[in-house]
Amino acid sequence: MNKDAQQLQPLKVGLVGNPNSGKSTVFNQLTGLRQKTGNFPGVTVEIKEGSFTLPKGRRVSLVDFPGAYSLYPTSSDEKVLAEVLTHTTDPHFPDVLVYIADVTHLEKHLLLFTQILDLQIPAILALNMIDLAAAEGIKITVQPLAAKLGVPVVLVNGRTGENIAQLSAVIEQMESISPVLTKPFYKFSDDETSVSDAIKHNFGISNAYRALLLAHHKDWLPFLNSAEKAILGTITETKQFQSLRAQVEETLSRFDRFTPIVQEAIQHPPVFPTTTTDRIDAVLTHRVAGPFIFVGVMMLVFSCIFYGYEITGGWVEGLMGWLIEKAEAAVAPLQIAWLTDFITKGILEGLKGVLVFVPQVALLSFLIAMLEESGYLTRVVFMFDKMMRRFGMNGRSIVALIGGGACAVPAIKGTRTIGNWKERIITIMVTPFISCSARIPVYMVLIPIALPRAGWWIWAQVFGAMYVLGVVTALASGWVLNKILKTREASFLTLQMPVYRVPHWKNVWLTVMDKVKSFVAGVWKPILIITSALWFLSSFGPGDIAEKAKNSASMDITAGVRTDADRGDLEASYKLEYSWAGKVGKFIEPAIRPLGYDWKIGIGILSSFLAREVFNSTMYVIYSLESVGKKEESAAGDEKPFERYATLKDRMMNDRFRDTDQRIYTTATGLSLLVFYALAMQCMSTLVVVKQETGRWRWAILQFLVMGIMAYLFAWVTFLVAS
The CA–CA distances, whole Å, from 577 to 143, 218, 435, 549 equal: 80, 61, 30, 9
Is residue 448 within 8 Å of 649, Cβ to Cβ? yes
Q: How confident is the model at residue 490 (pLDDT cuts 50, 70, 90)?
A: low
pLDDT for residue 235: 93
Q: What is the pLDDT of residue 348?
A: 76
Mean of the pLDDT values across residues 460-471? 89
Confidence of residue 593 (pLDDT cuts 50, 70, 90): very high
Higher pLDDT, 502 or 102: 102
Q: Is the pLDDT of residue 7 over 60?
A: no
Distance CA(223)–CA(399), nearest Å, equals 34
| Mean pLDDT score, 483-500 | 72
The CA distances from residue 653 to 210, 643, 674, in Å, are 72, 15, 15
| Count of alpha carbons within 13 angstroms of residue 696, beta-carbon side | 8
Instruction: Check residue 162 and report its DSSP letter.
Output: B
Confidence of residue 181 (pLDDT cuts 50, 70, 90): very low
pLDDT-derived band at 1 (thresholds 50, 70, 90) equals very low
Start-end of H helices in 404-504? 408-413, 421-430, 440-450, 456-484
Rounded to whole angstroms, the Cα distance separating 443 from 466 reads 9
pLDDT interval class at 476 (50, 70, 90): very high
Average pLDDT rounded to a whole number, residues 603-616: 78
CB burial of residue 381 (10 Å; 0-12, 13-18, 19+): buried
Amino acid, res. 665: Y
Burial 667-685 (b: 16+ CB within 10 A, else e): bbbbbbbbbbbbbbbbbbb
Q: Which of 76-85, 352-361, 558-567 has the lowest mean pLDDT?
A: 352-361
Q: What gap in Å lies between CA 425 and CA 430, rounded to an integer?
A: 9
* Res. 319: pLDDT tops 60: yes
Assess whether pLDDT exceeds 60 at residue 38: no
- List phi, psi (to 5°) of 659: -85, -25
Q: Across the chain, what does the average pLDDT equal?
A: 83
* Residue, of 235 and 532, whose pLDDT is higher: 235
Give the amino acid at 640.
K
Q: CA-to-CA distance for 298 and 528, rounded, in angstroms?
A: 33
The burial class, CB within 10 Å (0-12 / 13-18 / 19+), for 354 is: buried
Confidence of residue 33 (pLDDT cuts 50, 70, 90): low
pLDDT computed for residue 711 by the predictor: 95
**Could you give the percent of the chain with pLDDT greater than 90?**
31
240-265 tens-digit pLDDT: 999 989 999 999 999 999 999 999 99
* CATH number of the domain located at residue range(s) 3-174 in this protein: 3.40.50.300
pLDDT tens track for 334-359: 777 777 777 877 777 667 766 766 77
User: Per residue in 111-169, pLDDT tens?
Assistant: 999 999 999 999 999 999 898 888 888 898 888 889 899 899 999 998 888 999 999 99
Q: CA 551 to CA 227: how far, in whole Å?
A: 73
504-521 tens-digit pLDDT: 787 788 778 877 776 676
Show me where the domains of the chain are located.
3-174, 190-254
User: Residue 563: how many CB atoms within 10 A of its CB?
Assistant: 10
What is the Cα 215 distance to its own chain's centre?
34
Q: Could you give the count of Cα atoms lying within 13 Å of 649 in the half-sphere of its Cβ?
A: 20
pLDDT for 680 beyond 70: yes
Q: How far apart are CA 672 and CA 680, in angstroms?
A: 12
Determine the number of helices (DSSP H) and then strands (DSSP E) in the chain.
34, 9
| Higher local confidence (pLDDT), 656 or 68 | 68
Residues contacting 172, CB < 8 A, separation 6+: 54, 55, 56, 58
> Looking at per-residue confidence, does 669 or 182 come out higher?
669
The two most distant CA atoms of the chain are separated, in Å, by: 99
User: What is the pLDDT, as a whole number, of residue 241?
Assistant: 92
Phi, psi of 333 (to 5 degrees): -60, -20
Beta strands in 91-228 (DSSP E): 96-102, 123-128, 139-140, 153-155
Query: Which of 18-32, 450-464, 600-614 has the lowest average pLDDT?
Result: 600-614
Give pTM, 2 decimals. Answer: 0.68
pLDDT at 231 over 90: yes
Q: What is the mean pLDDT of residues 393-408?
A: 80
Nearest-CA neighbor of 67 among 117, 16, 123?
A: 16
Work out whether strand 96-102 and strand 123-128 pair parallel, antiparallel, or are unpaired.
parallel
